[in-house]
A and B are shown apart, each in its own frame.
Chain A
Amino acid sequence: DTEVTQTPKHLVMGMTNKKSLKCEQHMGHRAMYWYKQKAKKPPELMFVYSYEKLSINESVPSRFSPECPNSSLLNLHLHALQPEDSALYLCASSPGTGGYNEQFFGPGTRLTVL
């Protein structure tokens, strides 16, 4: 299995809702990432988990809460989002934590906040 899966593919939520995005990989990778991507822009790093521990938080608002329950699974919990948070959310994984590691990306979750 050489892919990263993300669910759901699409999500529409109101500003008072609580929802979660899920990401899974079974490649034995030890680093997992959340990115936010706006249209016509490159991905922006949000969080990095290395060996199931949060290693990078790019000053992301607390309405985004990451969780890594085990080495294969990464969640992003969403609460009280704003319309400007609407974007494509990409999950990625890499074998290790060095800059030489290729990151494998999932297909993304298209999030719309009303």
Chain B
Amino acid sequence: AQSVTQPDIHITVSEGASLELRCNYSYGATPYLFWYVQSPGQGLQLLLKYFSGDTLVQGIKGFEAEFKRSQSSFNLRKPSVHWSDAAEYFCAVGPPRGGGNKLTFGTGTQLKVEL
């Protein structure tokens, strides 16, 4: 069965520092890959997604992610973190074509930003 692993439960960075959140997936074929962000008490907002093509994808709010097939990873990065980026980040995978529409979420990474 497919699975998504976010190894870091909590990460703390200083404002202005760079950020990398890790995501690894286990799937028989390359799934569709997503990163969502959730502020406290709010719904989830899509940051970016990868389907195919260029392995470096740009998203909203200055985020980017790189798909590495050999490592089954889809890590999220931001060159300079802002205090407003403090939130919960979820990596998710969608099944390949014909596999339905059920997203599998990772357990999430809580980002804290120190001023």
Contact = CB atoms under 8 A, between A and B. Distances in A.
- Per DSSP, chain B at the interface is loop
A94 B105 contact: no
Contact of B100 (A43, A88, A92, A99): A99
Interface string B28-69: 000110101000011111100101000000000000000000
Contacts of A43: 44, 90, 105
Contact of B44 (A40, A90, A96): A90
B43 A99 contact: no
Interface stretch (A12-20, A76-84, A100-108): A100-108
Interface residues of A, number: 28
B103 interface: yes
Interface string A21-52: 00000000001000000001111010010100
Contacts, number: 70
Given A88-B41, A102-B34, A45 B102 contact: yes
A4 interface: yes
A107 B43 CA distance: 4
A4 B110 CA distance: 24
A100 B96 CA distance: 7
A103 B44 CA distance: 9
Given A4-B43, A42-B107, A50-B101, 8 more contacts: A42-B105, A42-B108, A92-B44, A97-B100, A99-B101, A100-B97, A103-B46, A103-B103
Interface of A: 4, 31, 40-43, 45, 48, 50, 56, 88, 90, 92, 94, 96-108, 110
20 contacts: A31-B101, A40-B108, A42-B105, A43-B44, A56-B100, A88-B41, A90-B43, A94-B101, A98-B101, A99-B31, A99-B96, A99-B99, A99-B101, A100-B51, A100-B97, A102-B34, A103-B44, A103-B46, A104-B46, A107-B43
